[in-house]
Amino acid sequence: MKDMNRLKILFFLLIFFLSAFAYSLPNGFGKVQLGMSVDAVKEALKNDRQFGYRGDRDVSLSPSDGQTLIETDATYSSFSYLDRCWFQFADGKLYVITINLDSSKIDHYSVFSKLCEKYGNPNDINPKKSLWKDGNVMMSLEKPLTLKYVDQKVFDSRQESSSIEKTYGEKNRETFLEGL
């Protein structure tokens, strides 16, 4: 009987560990991975024509906070399923990848179904977006057809350090919702 209980425990542990690995979210799209440096992302974009990267003219720097943004446009690439893409950096490391998919070549339901098949049901779903989280990465599929990868730890730390006060409209909205 003890051996049978041990086997059951081992079986459940094995299933637990296998499911944990089966549902870990991707750390980026293609060769572009969260945490990469600006130069490494530029190199990865140059080597993957589906992004439509044209070089340094696609890179901008925000003078107010020193953040780098790379924007690409693949709308003229006949073989790409991508449309426009944005790569946001904090402290020189990629922390947000935003990919607009070409709705003339692929649909929301197909992407959503494939993501559910690969990563399970979303942690959160609403009419605007579906969100998957694994503690390290937040991946969302937003309407109409945007795929987003976010380094959750960097995002959370930036949210905590943000001292932006809510606008009057935001406060008014919250007051209204509280009154329901």
Report whether pLDDT(20) > 70. Answer: no
Condensed to tens digits (0 to 9), the pLDDT of residues 153-171 reads 998 888 776 655 667 777 7
Dihedral sign, Cα of residue 123, residue 129, residue 134, residue 136 = negative
Unique residue bearing structure tokens 């020189």: 92
Given this model, what pLDDT does residue 27 score? 94
Given this model, what pLDDT does residue 164 score? 59
Report whether pLDDT(22) > 90. Answer: no
Token pair of 91 as six digits: 């402290």
pTM over 0.95: no
Q: CA-CA-CA-CA torsion for 64, 70, 73, 74, nearest 10 degrees?
A: -160
Structure-model confidence comparison of residues 51 and 14, the more confident one = 51
Is there a cis peptide before residue 144, judged by omega within 30 degrees of 0?
A: yes
